[in-house]
A = this chain, B = another copy of it.
Amino acid sequence: MSYKFYPDWYNNPPPARSYRSIFKWGSPSVFKHPNERLLKVIKDRLGMKDEDFKHKKNTGDETVKIDFPVKLNKIFLKKLEDIVGSENVLTDDYSRLKFAYGKTMLDLMRLRLKIAENIPDAVVSPRCKDEIKKIIELCDKNLVPITVYSGGSSVTRGVECPKGGISLNMQKYMKRILKINPVNQTVTVQPGISGPELEKALNNAQNLFSTKYNYTCGHFPQSFEYSTVGGWITTRGAGQNSTYYGKIENLVLSQEYLTPAGEIRTGEYPAHAMGPDLNQVMIGSEGVFGILVSATLKIFRLIPHSTRRFSFIFKSWQNAIDATREIMQAQFGFPSIFRLSDPEETEIALRMYGADFRIIQTFLRVKGYKLGESCLLIGTCDGDDDFTKLVSGKISEIASDYKAMSLSGLVAKAWEKSRFKDPYMRDDFLDFGIIVDTLECSACWDRIEHVWKRVTETCKKYPRTICMAHISHFYPQGANLYFTFFTKEDGIKEYLQIQNDMIGAIRQSGASLSHHHGIGKMIAPWFEGAVGKEHLDVLKALKKHFDPNNIMNPGGTLALDIPETEKK
């Protein structure tokens, strides 16, 4: 008689004002636990036993208590209250810690260990642009740092406040849709609006705004549910459908920022030849120049009935990369979701999503596709119905030319269904001392395999780790690479060692340091080495112009003010 063990996953909303309520991913009452098959792989690879899943540790159920006195004086706080109302200036322990951290693995680890550092002195929720203007003036005069917090889903230590000051909470009020323009196909929003709020409104535009069509924003990062437009733009993010819709820098038509040096409002033109593009100076500026207060985004007609799904299995990584490159260079249009898993991720994905893994395994073996070598490609096509027919047909043809086997659209559909839910599992794993973290980058085609090999090998040098990768954003000239690694939690220092080595490998392999997560404070030590001193000097000149007193998100972001000793 076989005995089956299931871990007692944490399955309740975290206690109010607890550490866990801060680090838990997503909605308090939503969970996605690792399934049995995934758990088996993890246990096998990390050398863990059922015993290791019997006692959760550092679950963070305790009430937050920190020992950092507020450094802002009462007169200053009163002035803040005069601007935004006293209910919108919070200095309690819980709020200060909550707004100090995002969803970086280091954040989760620190919260579980009750390490509070780099916290703001106050959390301020402005109600309108004018209040933000006044806050900037007040803070600039008093040299008080301002760090913007919007969705709080940063995985680059983007919202920490190493210099204290205020955390500006944009998600409370600054989240309105200001205008929808069906002629231009644009929407103008405040930065604190979340992905689902925006998408819901666009999907219902016919009812809400009496437009002829319903629309979509086309931007769906994995953090979609807890990300905001402000975060998308200021980190230079990408959605999972970016191969068709474009990255956020392709979706922003115009923007409005408040900076200590004044207001920047870019023109609303479809394209221009009016000198350097200020939109692209501000996009990705990660809060160091100023505060985004509104943005006009391109939107797309919603044509859900046209979406077509596909999945293929390729015999090798090389084969699959060649095929996807061909797809991107053949000039028939691009797919929307387009996601190629390396052999490791393919195996794990098939175990996770395949209802009966043994049948799949046998089937693949019979057909000559070996696990550990085969690669899964899934995707969708969006757009006009005839267009998606053409694109999906062409993709099938090319996949077939490269000896891939179709697994029908069902695998893509299964993945889509859970696409925003995977981050929930991080908490489960960490409850039992397993780190699941990600790093990502981009490179041109001729470097993709080199980067992939170097980074995965760097991770796998460490005993008992899993490192899997996928490509999920494709271009005619190259693609991104997204690495997910599992390792036994063995302390912050040890974790950072692996992470550092992997970022170092990304840097040395000639890839970009990030394709869509941004730099934040986490990647900043490698930034100057990657872009060069002259490049960083340009950003410093811009910083000096916009924010001569360094009050905007100070303390390391984009390597503008990190000490020489921290540079890698």
Q: Mark A258-271, 1 if CB is under 8 A from B, else 0.
A: 00011111111111
Given A282-B276, A512-B274, residue A477 in contact with residue B390 (CB < 8 A): no
Extra pairs beyond A185-B329, A280-B280 (9, CB < 8 Å): A271-B442, A274-B284, A275-B539, A276-B280, A277-B284, A332-B387, A384-B394, A538-B546, A541-B541
Q: Mark A371-396, 1 if CB is under 8 A from B, else 0.
A: 00000000000111011001000100
**In whole angstroms, what is the CA distance A275 to B516 when docked?**
10
A42 to chain B, nearest CB (A): 29
**In whole angstroms, what is the CA distance A281 to B130 when docked?**
29
**In whole angstroms, what is the CA distance A280 to B538 when docked?**
13
The residues of B that contact A535 with a CB separation of less than 8 Å are 264-266, 278
Instruction: Provide 26 A-B residue pairs closer than 8 Å at the C-beta atoms, listed in order of the A residue.
Output: A183-B444, A183-B445, A183-B446, A184-B444, A185-B476, A269-B515, A270-B443, A270-B479, A271-B442, A271-B473, A272-B515, A274-B519, A274-B530, A275-B285, A276-B280, A277-B281, A279-B280, A280-B280, A332-B384, A333-B333, A386-B394, A390-B390, A538-B542, A538-B546, A541-B545, A542-B542
A208 interface hit (Cβ, 8 Å): no
Which of A237, A333, A443 has the largest count of B CB atoms less than 10 A from its CB?
A333
A274 to chain B, nearest CB (A): 5
The 8 closest A-B pairs by CB, nearest first: A280-B280, A541-B545, A270-B478, A270-B475, A331-B383, A332-B384, A236-B273, A272-B512
In the complex, the chain B residue whose C-beta lies closest to that of A247 is B271
A241 interface hit (Cβ, 8 Å): no
Q: Among B277, B387, B442, B533, point to the contact of A249 (Cβ < 8 A).
A: B277
A292 interface hit (Cβ, 8 Å): no
Which of A265, A274, A282 has the largest count of B CB atoms less than 10 A from its CB?
A274
Q: Among B184, B247, B270, B303, point to the contact of A331 (Cβ < 8 A).
A: B303
A195 to chain B, nearest CB (A): 17
Q: Among B262, B517, B527, B532, point to the contact of A534 (Cβ < 8 A).
A: B262
A53 interface hit (Cβ, 8 Å): no
Q: Mark A493-517, 1 if CB is under 8 A from B, else 0.
A: 0000000000000000001111111
Chain A contacts to B: CB under 8 angstroms: 181, 183-186, 235-238, 247, 249, 253, 261-286, 298, 300-301, 303, 325, 329-333, 382-384, 386-387, 390, 394, 442-446, 473, 475-480, 511-519, 527, 530-535, 537-539, 541-542, 544-546, 558
Which of A278, A394, A558 has the largest count of B CB atoms less than 10 A from its CB?
A278
- Please tell me if the beta carbons of B537 and A261 are within 8 angstroms of each other in the complex: yes
Given A267-B530, A268-B444, A281-B538, residue A558 in contact with residue B479 (CB < 8 A): no
The residues of B that contact A531 with a CB separation of less than 8 Å are 267, 274, 278
In the complex, the chain B residue whose C-beta lies closest to that of A249 is B277
The residues of B that contact A386 with a CB separation of less than 8 Å are 332, 390, 394
The residues of B that contact A558 with a CB separation of less than 8 Å are 275
- Please tell me if the beta carbons of B283 and A276 are within 8 angstroms of each other in the complex: yes
- Please tell me if the beta carbons of B527 and A538 are within 8 angstroms of each other in the complex: no
Which of A263, A479, A512 has the largest count of B CB atoms less than 10 A from its CB?
A512
- Please tell me if the beta carbons of A262 and B537 are within 8 angstroms of each other in the complex: yes
A337 to chain B, nearest CB (A): 16
In the complex, the chain B residue whose C-beta lies closest to that of A440 is B273
In the complex, the chain B residue whose C-beta lies closest to that of A475 is B270
Given A301-B329, A383-B332, A542-B542, residue A445 in contact with residue B184 (CB < 8 A): yes
**In whole angstroms, what is the CA distance A78 to B203 when docked?**
69
- Please tell me if the beta carbons of B387 and A271 are within 8 angstroms of each other in the complex: no
**In whole angstroms, what is the CA distance A480 to B272 when docked?**
9
In the complex, the chain B residue whose C-beta lies closest to that of A474 is B270
A468 to chain B, nearest CB (A): 21
In the complex, the chain B residue whose C-beta lies closest to that of A181 is B446
The residues of B that contact A511 with a CB separation of less than 8 Å are 269
**In whole angstroms, what is the CA distance A275 to B526 when docked?**
13
- Please tell me if the beta carbons of B184 and A446 are within 8 angstroms of each other in the complex: yes
A150 to chain B, nearest CB (A): 16
**In whole angstroms, what is the CA distance A262 to B538 when docked?**
11
**In whole angstroms, what is the CA distance A303 to B331 when docked?**
9
In the complex, the chain B residue whose C-beta lies closest to that of A382 is B331
**In whole angstroms, what is the CA distance A444 to B535 when docked?**
33
